[in-house]
């Protein structure tokens, strides 16, 4: 069913926010800052030390690539250091992506 950005915000807070910020001035934490994520190539945040695997993935982050990545990050990017098992439920992925689209927009 339809993506629910409000539920996505809840998911982000509980599952992602310990490692990521979405704000322009949020900075890098354990994971890279996600501001401006949509339309950006993987591995481009300055001042963040990525794995070569993430850096060299060469995808543009947008709905479809994030949908595949967030199901199983270690399968989509073998060798990534992102410690997140993934969302098995499509609805969860769609909800968090809807939230990311709003909250990371420039």
Give contact residues for ligand HEM (rule: CB under 6 A): 15-16, 18-20, 30-32, 37, 42-45, 50-51, 53-54, 61, 70, 80-84, 96
Of 10 and 81, the one with the shorter C-beta distance to ligand HEM is 81
Of 1 and 38, the one with the shorter C-beta distance to ligand HEM is 38
Of 5 and 31, the one with the shorter C-beta distance to ligand HEM is 31
Q: How far is the CB of 16 from ligand HEM (least distance, A)?
A: 3
Separation between Cα atoms, residue 49 and residue 21, nearest integer Å: 16
Q: How far is the CB of 26 from ligand HEM (least distance, A)?
A: 13
The DSSP 8-state label assigned to residue 25 in this structure reads: T
Q: How far is the CB of 46 from ligand HEM (least distance, A)?
A: 10
Separation between Cα atoms, residue 7 and residue 30, nearest integer Å: 23
User: Alpha carbon of 60 to those of 37, 65, 66: distances in Å?
Assistant: 9, 7, 9
Q: Which of 9, 50, 12 is nearest to 31 (CA)?
A: 50
């Amino acid at each position: 069913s339809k993506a629910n950005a409000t539920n996505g915000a809840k998911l982000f807070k509980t599952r992602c926010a310990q490692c990521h910020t979405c704000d322009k001035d949020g900075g890098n934490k354990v994971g890279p800052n996600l501001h401006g994520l949509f339309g950006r190539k993987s591995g481009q945040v300055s001042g963040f030390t990525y794995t070569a695997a993430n850096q060299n993935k060469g995808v543009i982050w947008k709905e479809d690539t994030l949908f595949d990545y967030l199901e199983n990050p270690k399968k989509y990017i073998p060798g990534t250091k992102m410690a997140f098992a993934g969302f098995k439920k499509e609805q969860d992925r769609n909800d968090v992506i809807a939230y990311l689209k709003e909250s990371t927009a420039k």
